């Protein structure tokens, strides 16, 4: 019974945050004519208000995000074009990342450096995963296969590390940048602030489930290495 409870807790940790995030974002995505503008209009207004030079606003189908390399705030159509609490809060959150970049926020810089390194590491891991089963059956290939397995585990560890470094970056974007702007700028009414806080929390928790999955994969491969 204790083992079953442990399994259920692990499943809840892995799946729960993602389900909660989707539920919150969907709940507050209804059109609101009383809002002063769409998410895209808010982002453009904030870029002008805070004078973020060189930052662009783009439409994307790849999910809402800020690209520090391109200095681009990228918003999905539902955020760019809709007047909803989800759209406004999400746009403010992504603008928060642009503001972090402009202020040389250390955690964002660290994550960017790690992400650049992770691209090359993940390419190696993809090749290694393909080569691993071949080396296992080749005489004398077991030693090289073990080194490749260490490399795969290292790439997973780096990916997990990036996710955990991202967490404080996300919370700062939501509650250190976006929330004060929305509160002090009267972009949403006082009666909506509690709902906006939930949406901002959902934006910040997007990476939690990814980090937990990363830890699970890392521990699984580490156990395989010890055999």
Q: Decide if 31 is catalytic.
A: no
- Three-class secondary structure of residue 37 per DSSP: coil
Q: Phi and psi of 108, rounded to 5°? A: -65, -40
What is the β-pairing status of strands 56-59 and 72-75?
parallel
Catalytic residue among 53, 58, 94, 183: 94
The encoded tokens of residue 179 equal 């929330």
| C-alpha atoms less than 13 angstroms from C-alpha of 133 in its C-beta half-sphere | 3
- Kindly report each contact of residues 64-67 with a partner whose C-beta sits within 8 Å and lies 24 or more positions away, as own/partner: 64/90, 64/91, 64/93, 64/94, 65/94, 65/97, 66/94, 66/95, 66/97, 66/98, 66/101
- Three-class secondary structure of residue 51 per DSSP: coil
Residues serving a catalytic function are 94
């Amino acid at each position: 019974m204790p083992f079953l409870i442990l399994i259920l807790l692990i499943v809840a940790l892995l799946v729960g945050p993602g389900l909660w995030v989707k539920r919150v974002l969907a709940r507050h995505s209804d059109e609101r004519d009383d809002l002063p503008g769409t998410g895209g209009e808010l982002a453009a207004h904030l870029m002008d208000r805070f004078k973020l030079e060189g930052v662009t606003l783009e439409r994307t189908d790849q999910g809402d995000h800020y690209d520090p390399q391109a200095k681009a705030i990228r918003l999905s159509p539902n955020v760019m074009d809709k007047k909803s609490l989800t759209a406004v809060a999400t746009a403010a959150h992504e603008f928060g990342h642009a503001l972090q970049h402009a202020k040389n926020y250390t955690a964002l810089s660290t994550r960017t450096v790690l992400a650049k390194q992770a691209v090359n590491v993940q390419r190696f891991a993809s090749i290694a995963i393909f080569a691993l089963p071949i080396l296992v059956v080749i005489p004398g290939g077991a030693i090289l296969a073990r080194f490749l397995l260490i490399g795969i585990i290292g790439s997973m560890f780096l990916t997990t590390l990036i996710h955990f470094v991202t967490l404080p970056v996300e919370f700062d974007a939501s509650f250190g940048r976006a929330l004060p702007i929305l509160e002090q700028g009267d972009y949403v009414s006082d009666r909506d602030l509690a709902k906006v806080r939930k949406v901002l929390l959902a934006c910040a928790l997007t990476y939690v489930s990814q980090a937990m999955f990363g830890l699970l994969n890392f521990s699984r491969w580490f156990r395989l290495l010890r055999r």
